[in-house]
Structure 1
């Protein structure tokens, strides 16, 4: 592999890694609090230096004796560390409720909440500031350091305000509609990036018809380096990793689960040993595999989360058809723009005659099946849920009715619509409940 190829691949791989790290830090309850804790330590050192080298007379409002300052700092330090423990407890309870009532996969929406991370970090920063300041207050002095006490009081007031904001947000976040709204919003951002963009990946060449690989002979099989979910793929880096005139076929997609040593990609014609080893290394680096699915490139994961909420709502233990209906409506809010958007082609060829095949990428019909196929099976005994399904499928069909290039998608929508009625029949619904379903499913020409 020449130096120019390495240099062309490096930016794409670096961008993938940066996005993966950024996503992990966004969901971390440790990173931002530690940053703010370090900021509190630095702030105390700066305030102490200023107090030692100058007298800030304009801070007379916060002038107090050394004994009062020690008492105040001790009280603030004890209160903030106690409150931090309470906040952690509230977060754990919220995660338990969300996991049990909705789905374990929606916990990421709570981890990503900046308000909770900032509050914990602010409490730790206030605690560290006050503890360090206690060691520098002169008990024999007549006056406590004014800037240090001013900053301690400001941090305390900011912490109190952050607690109120956090309590307001945590009570609102438990509402299922807010959870589904956030999931829907992340999916819409990805859809707006289709077919080629900064999130979903830029164009790697011109779309072409998929070649007949049966004529290519023996392929070099690139194996998956680890177990896990495919979170991101750089198609540009994968195509650039193979020699000119080659065809590379991805054997996975974003959102799929890979088992170690499972085929990740195949290359035709089979390159020599050295070139093959280098291509295998670069292709492995171009696919980010992690322990969980993410919303970095995976639109289907949004459908999975919303379906999980709806399925949990339809379970006998919960029996909440209203939440299931809202879940279906949120799914449909994602699917309508998704079905209208153009998806990336599944075969591209670049100017060096290299062809990339991505046959496992989801098409519009598969998105429809993933969106409604599972929840439909459990909605047959719930007339209102089934009626909502029929209506949204009818809406999607009307949206695509004039699109000649969506014939396969329309067939899948019709199949799902008819299956809703079949499921209701198997569930034993009476004719009085079946009649509205049939009426809602009827097409205009019928």
Structure 2
């Protein structure tokens, strides 16, 4: 298991942080009991600060039940709300909320508070001490901390449940995956000009390595794969990419070797992480798909504002992909020799997965389609110029077929104004004029804004 995968599992595991807090509560219990039993703090305190055994037992016993009730009530309420909310937008939202640091810390404080009260209540002994100080004082402080945490958690949940905050967090997650996967991990090994590669694909026999189990490809260790391929003197071609589902015995990669050296195939299989479900550790498309689901469900729930917000967040992620990746499917080693051939992924691929499904479900919604064109025009201002053609063609395909759905003149003007801005940003003014002429030929009204 790689460090990135281990880090993701720990972060998304609901028990990791609470276990740490529970361990801290054990230390506090030991310190409090040692102070009261061994050093007799309660007996040595002045009368106003000393708490007798019966009052200490009542305080700790009451707080034990209260803390457990508070914890159960809080998370039961939140899970009910999130079940409804995730059904309305995306079922993957609940995992994001549970994996947030604030949620895990709140659960850790509640759990640690309960264990502190429970253990102190268990070890209270009238024969060992008549008066207590550390145990009841710490119990009171921890109870006050739990109440404060409860207020903070309600505030955190309310803020997180706001659609703008939710989509913003999803966008941040997607941008971090773009940076770690494309920019930091793969781009240093990608080659822009294939003619500079020293080692072309060999004409020798092609060997294949098959998967040993079925599931989604969650993670591929590209760096280690390049290094190992360099040591073995082979060229590898990946038959599938991150997020693909493979069956058992499906050829997962092919390789060519120039010598008769035996290749340890299990070594290369270990560089793939295949699990039962998709993960956002390295899968850019999966992280974008969360925002796509929010947009599509918002359209179905007649919530155009939420759909528009999700569309703009997707646009920012796609613009980042355009700027930070050269979309080469060749990875080379330090000697400029070809080592790994990836599945081809260009900007068109990510653009389709980002807006293609939304465009399909918004095919009768002119307002949402207009927002897609506006986002495309906004994206074009920060895209790599090589992707201008792709985004313009996508905009034209989106614009086609909406003429008969305009109910008002303003719908028509806004729609064509957005397409006009896209033409200007992508330097396709002539193509825009041709588009208008074609619409006139088929008898459609095109009193639209011309590119400025």
Distance 2:133 2:321 in 1: 59
1:135 match: secondary structure: helix
Q: Aligned runs of 1:423-442 on 2, under 5 Å?
A: 423-425=401-403, 428-430=405-407, 432=409, 433-442=411-420
1:221 match: secondary structure: strand
Q: Aligned runs of 1:73-88 on 2, under 5 Å?
A: 73-88=60-75
Q: Deviations over 1:168-227 (max 9, x none)?
A: 111221111111000111222234447542xx3573476652889886243221112322
Q: Which residue of 2 aligns with 1:9?
A: none
Relative to 1, partners in 2 of residues 1:17 and 1:245: Cα closer, same or farther, differing over 3 Å?
A: closer
Q: Is 1:147 paired with 2:124?
A: no
Distance 1:183 1:281 in 2: 35
2:14 match: secondary structure: coil
Q: Aligned runs of 1:3-152 on 2, under 5 Å?
A: 17-56=2-41, 62-139=49-126, 143-152=130-139
- Is the 8 Å Cα contact of residues 187 and 326 (structure 2) preserved in structure 1? no
* Alignment counterpart, residue 340 of structure 1, candidates 300, 320, 323: 323
Q: Is 1:295 paired with 2:280?
A: yes
Q: Is 1:312 paired with 2:312?
A: no
Distance 1:217 1:203 in 2: 28
Distance 1:331 1:385 in 2: 14
Q: Deviations over 1:99-144 (max 9, x none)?
A: 2011112222111122332222222222222222123323357743
Q: CA deviation at 1:58?
A: 6.6
- Is the 8 Å Cα contact of residues 194 and 343 (structure 1) preserved in structure 2? no
Relative to 1, partners in 2 of residues 1:156 and 1:249: Cα closer, same or farther, differing over 3 Å?
A: same
Q: Is 1:364 paired with 2:347?
A: yes
Q: Deviations over 1:325-383 (max 9, x none)?
A: 11111111222222222346321332467523333252222111211111011223222
- Is the 8 Å Cα contact of residues 369 and 412 (structure 1) preserved in structure 2? no
- Is the 8 Å Cα contact of residues 348 and 357 (structure 1) preserved in structure 2? yes
- Is the 8 Å Cα contact of residues 220 and 242 (structure 2) preserved in structure 1? yes
Mark the runs of 5 or more structure 1 residues left unpaired by the alignment.
1-15
Distance 2:319 2:49 in 1: 59
2:395 match: secondary structure: helix
Greater CA drift, 173-182 or 295-304: 295-304
Distance 2:91 2:70 in 1: 27
Relative to 1, partners in 2 of residues 1:214 and 1:35: Cα closer, same or farther, differing over 3 Å?
A: closer
Mark the runs of 5 or more structure 2 residues left unpaired by the alignment.
434-452
- Is the 8 Å Cα contact of residues 66 and 140 (structure 1) preserved in structure 2? no
Q: Is 1:321 paired with 2:304?
A: yes
TM-score for the superposition, normalised by structure 2 = 0.83
Relative to 1, partners in 2 of residues 1:246 and 1:100: Cα closer, same or farther, differing over 3 Å?
A: same
Relative to 1, partners in 2 of residues 1:328 and 1:62: Cα closer, same or farther, differing over 3 Å?
A: farther
Q: Which residue of 2 aligns with 1:162?
A: 149
User: Which structure has the higher relative contact order (CA within 8 Å, separation 6+)?
Assistant: 1
- Is the 8 Å Cα contact of residues 339 and 364 (structure 1) preserved in structure 2? yes
Relative to 1, partners in 2 of residues 1:332 and 1:425: Cα closer, same or farther, differing over 3 Å?
A: same
- Is the 8 Å Cα contact of residues 224 and 262 (structure 1) preserved in structure 2? yes
In the comparison of the two structures, how many residue pairs are matched?
418
Q: Is 1:237 paired with 2:224?
A: yes
Q: Which residue of 2 aligns with 1:257?
A: 245
Q: Which residue of 2 aligns with 1:267?
A: 255
Q: CA deviation at 1:21?
A: 2.1
- Is the 8 Å Cα contact of residues 219 and 270 (structure 1) preserved in structure 2? no
Q: Which residue of 1 aligns with 2:158?
A: 171
Q: Which residue of 2 aligns with 1:13?
A: none
Relative to 1, partners in 2 of residues 1:391 and 1:205: Cα closer, same or farther, differing over 3 Å?
A: closer
- Is the 8 Å Cα contact of residues 187 and 325 (structure 2) preserved in structure 1? no
Relative to 1, partners in 2 of residues 1:271 and 1:74: Cα closer, same or farther, differing over 3 Å?
A: farther
Distance 1:59 1:181 in 2: 55
Relative to 1, partners in 2 of residues 1:423 and 1:64: Cα closer, same or farther, differing over 3 Å?
A: farther
Relative to 1, partners in 2 of residues 1:202 and 1:285: Cα closer, same or farther, differing over 3 Å?
A: farther
TM-score for the superposition, normalised by structure 1 = 0.84
